[in-house]
Amino acid sequence: MSSVTLHDVRFIEPERTRNYLNVDYGVFSWLLTKDHKRIGILYMFSISLMFILGGFFAMMMRLELLTPEGDLLTSDTYNKFFTLHGIIMIFFFLIPSIPAVMGNFILPIQLGAKDLAFPKINLLSWYLYMIGAFVGLYVIITGGVDTGWTFYTPFSTQYSNTHVFGTTFGAFIVGFSSILTGLNFLVTIHRMRAPGLTWYRLPLFVWAIYATSVVQLLATPVLAITLFLLMFERVVHVGIFDPALGGDPLLYQHMFWFYSHPAVYIMILPAMGVASEVVAAFTRKKIFGYKFVAFSSLAIAFLGFLVWAHHMFVAGISIYSAMIFSFLSYFVAVPSAIKVFNWTATLYKASVAWMTPMLYILGFIGLFTIGGVTGLFLAALGLDVHVTDTYFVVAHFHYIMVGGAVMAYFAALHYWWPKITGRMYPEWWARLSALLVFVGFNLTFLPQFVLGYLGMPRRYHAYAPEFQVLNVMSTAGASILAVGYALPLFYLIWSLRFGHKAGVNPWGAVGLEWTTSSPPPKENFHETPVVTWDAYDYPAMLKAMGETQNV
Amino acid sequence: MLISDFPLFPEQGSTVAGQVDALFIVLSVITGSVSILIFLLIFILAIKYRRTPQNQLAQDQEPPQMLEAGWIGIPFVIFMGMFVWGAWLYFRLARIPDNALDVYATGKQWMWKFQHSTGQREINTLHVPVGRPVRITLASEDVIHSLFFPSFRIKADVLPSRYRTMWFQATRTGRFHIFCAEYCGTQHSGMIGWVEVMEPTDYQKWLAGGSEGSLASQGEKLFQTHACNTCHTNDATARGPVLVGLYGSDVTLGDNSVVKADDNYIRESILNPQAKLVKGFGPIMPTFQGQVSEDDLLKLLAYIKSLGGAPAPSPAGTPQKEQRR
Ligand SMILES: [Cu+2]
Ligand SMILES: [Cu+2]
């Protein structure tokens, strides 16, 4: 691809040596920074550590499940490991991943803004995240927690003798980080768009982050209230959720899922935004049905609030309310389907470059589709009775959250890496990692659908012997997956020193982030950009490039 | 390794299993073929229109916008079909046949206790006859558990706050797994057992094996040891209301509202009598919260049920919302 003219065409940007990375040095220039780009990097560091930690727990579980007997870990340790795996991956990795890293770094640049609306609050968000993370690490070091990431009562409030209070307190604090980030993004998108950047000219990533932020702002406070009540009941023994004290355990589940279902969309909406960016860039085409894709993000955000009780079809809710929640759950599937179809249609008569970010996103579309259609099984009431709380559910949500959100995070990482660091990653190795992740992922989680339908319940330390073959396959897949995830750690760090210089626009993509130098200057642009073209308007860009070329 | 050691599809052991599997298979075929279609399309398009020196920029032509309406409308109609089928099945699972055999189950960290109305008690094993509907009334002594029969394709969460019911009708004899499906602490994965489905004659023989008298008669003894009979003398002038004929009837409360005397009402009347006072009676019945175990509570329930009641008990499985006040 490198031999081709278009690829080499770049916006001519005066070569400046000063960028956000070298304007100043020293620990405090990072720890006290108000630059959204540096804060994005701080998040990238912290969530990467969390990802490694959460991955370690996952790997230990998969090793334990190689044999039917519980022989590698004790039951209590196993229970703590799946709890910590869930809590770390959801609250400390997936929820902040794309929004807090890529949203922080790229969103203001895509808007043509100098920074977020509230830079100090942005830094505060990171500190809240870190405080929550340290509380979480303290819990891990002092003995862990064994409630499952769902903290169901009355187990969590009366029966568990592990660090429930510390863990929920950590999650409670991280919640505020998420709320403030969402607020910051919303205000920024409303108030700080560059001249000419109207709503329909916004990149779809911005639309997705907008929808995500609405959910973060509206749903997370409910989590905070729920966790607060849980801590209160655990410590003071007032009856809110515990029936022995006159409370109602189902009330807890309603409140928990009122946040935690929308939280799924906090994780997947930004991933969909990345998918739109990458598909456009690597097909050199406007996303087919731009407005449908944009509004489907908002539709998902809205409908996502109306389906929480589909996690409770066997929990003891009335059959009539179950019916309504099943019905509404099918509604939320429609906008997701719209996106998949539109991405696919965009490939028609496109110019498809098989580069790493695109490979990750093609994988994302496939895995997200499988995750989505298996959701249709779970929304079917009579079928859910059999498959809920089994490995079928485990496989389903890993397809959405790992096959979907994590794949998209890696796509984003590779796509914007040249912009963030000014260096290209090694393409061959990156393609290999994308391939390994895809193959390893499917080998890990496809067998789990079968296991679930066979009836293997989730959160089982030991299991019936006839489930072993499928479990061994799953563990083998997890090992491949681990290699796939570990590779980028090495070659990305390697690229910081040895990677090719990226230049302004290595992909020949459109979007304001590809008009400023890589890495960008501290203030993002040397002059405030004026937007005269639609999102993904390749003809207009070519014209603009033609002009600059003639200079 | 034998193929039977490595199953890919669960055995069908109950009347509903085939129906659940039918929905599962139809959904698999529909979603599977649509997914494969999408994958093929992506693959073919991404190869056909791959970037080459000649194909540097996408061409202008777009697929027709009409497509949008199609792929919003058609999936929606299919989804509604799935919804209706799933809901129909769920209603079927909730409707308990009239002639069902009664079994009582208590979940407790970490074991399943089963009591038969004839008085047999067993732990982590459940004996049932083939071809006869079995209704299980469920209670938990501590945290939430979930009683799961994979071969019967049913499960229900077991709550510490109230009774729930589930039912199945086994279609063939044999041993089938019982699992706890809701995480409940250390030995969650050890909270498992077997359901033994027997020929009716074998089942009768098994029942004939020793027991301490029927569950109702054990409940009657408890009724005396807890001194319930001092107030509930079954005399209209006694300090407590007559319990004969109570089960399944409509009870008028002090505030003139009417409630159905189902399992959960009786449970609440014993554990928290002040919650719903029967019209014409004062709040004199002491609470038995913490004094009667879940097992004993089920015996008392069986006894009160045995005192007769309105013909059709509440359609169990329609879980009544618990009203605590
Ligand atoms: Cu249990
Ligand atoms: Cu359990």
The domain spanning residue A486 has which CATH number? 1.20.210.10
Closest to B219 measured CA to CA, from B299, B294, B298: B299
The answer to whether B33 touches B172, Cβ cutoff 8 Å, is: no
Q: Which residues of A touch B316 (CB under 8 A)?
A: none
The verdict on residue A453 lying in a domain is yes
Size of interface A-B (CB pairs under 8 A): 284
The verdict on residue A17 lying in a domain is no
- DSSP per-residue codes, B218-256: HHHHHHHHTTGGGT--S-TTSSS---TT-BTSEEEBTTS
Q: How many helices (H) and strands (E) does chain B have?
A: 6, 12
CA distance A91 to A169: 12
CA distance A502 to A424: 5
Q: Does B24 touch chain A (CB under 8 A)?
A: yes
The verdict on residue A19 lying in a domain is no
Best mutation target among B27, B47, B71 (most A Cβ atoms within 10 Å) is B71
Backbone torsions φ then ψ of B177, nearest 5 degrees: -65, 145
Q: Identify the nearest ligand to the CA of A460 by its number.
A: 2
Q: What's the gap in Å between the CA of B219 and the closest CA on chain A?
A: 23
The verdict on residue A31 lying in a domain is no
| CB nearest B63 (choices: A148, A345, A465) | A345
Whole-angstrom CA distances from B190 to A148, A462, B185, B186 are: 17, 7, 10, 9
Closest to A145 measured CA to CA, from A132, A164, A165, A158: A164
CA distance A27 to B210: 78
Domain span at A253 = 36-545
The answer to whether B167 touches B100, Cβ cutoff 8 Å, is: yes
Q: Note the pTM of the prediction, 2 decimals.
A: 0.89
| CB nearest B58 (choices: A284, A314, A469) | A284
- Taking only the tens of pLDDT, chain A with its 551 residues reads 333 334 334 444 445 568 898 888 888 999 999 999 999 999 999 999 999 999 999 999 999 999 999 899 999 999 999 999 999 999 999 999 999 999 999 999 999 999 999 999 999 999 999 999 999 999 999 999 999 999 998 999 989 999 999 999 999 999 999 999 999 999 999 999 999 999 999 999 999 999 999 999 999 999 999 999 999 999 998 889 988 888 899 999 999 999 999 999 999 999 999 999 999 999 998 999 999 999 999 999 999 999 999 999 999 999 999 999 999 999 999 999 999 999 999 999 899 999 999 999 999 999 999 999 999 999 999 999 999 999 999 999 999 999 999 999 999 999 999 999 999 999 999 999 999 999 999 999 999 999 999 999 999 999 999 999 999 999 999 999 999 999 999 999 999 999 999 888 899 888 899 989 889 999 999 888 888 888 888 877 766 655 544 33
| CB nearest B161 (choices: A159, A249, A337) | A249
Q: Ligand 2 centroid to A19 CA: how many Å?
A: 56
The verdict on residue A197 lying in a domain is yes
Angle subtended at Cα A167 by Cα A301 and Cα A231, rounded to the nearest 5 degrees: 85
Q: Does B216 touch chain A (CB under 8 A)?
A: no
Q: Ligand 2 centroid to B178 CA: how many Å?
A: 11
Full set of structural domains in chain B with CATH: 13-44+63-94 (no CATH), 101-207 (2.60.40.420), 215-306 (1.10.760.10)
Instruction: Dig out the tokens for B175 from the structure.
Output: 């041993």
Q: Does B58 touch chain A (CB under 8 A)?
A: yes
Q: Sheet harboring B145-149: ordered strands across?
A: B125-129, B193-198, B174-180, B145-149, B154-158
The verdict on residue A261 lying in a domain is yes
Q: Does B292 touch chain A (CB under 8 A)?
A: no
Whole-angstrom CA distances from A153 to A245, A334, B144, B184 are: 12, 33, 8, 10
Q: Which residues of A touch B67 (CB under 8 A)?
A: 341, 345
Number of domains within chain A:
1
Q: What's the gap in Å between the CA of A190 and the closest CA on chain B?
A: 28
Q: Which residues of A touch B23 (CB under 8 A)?
A: 380, 382-383
Instruction: Dig out the tokens for A48 from the structure.
Output: 């990467």
Closest to A179 measured CA to CA, from A297, A259, A235, A238: A259
Instruction: Dig out the tokens for B259 from the structure.
Output: 């409630």
At B308, which amino acid appears?
G
At A204, which amino acid appears?
L
The verdict on residue A23 lying in a domain is no
Say yes or no: ipTM exceeds 0.85: yes
The verdict on residue A135 lying in a domain is yes
CA distance B145 to B142: 9
Q: How many Cβ atoms sit within 10 Å of the Cβ of residue A168?
A: 24
A117 secondary structure, DSSP code: S
| CB nearest A376 (choices: B65, B72, B79) | B79
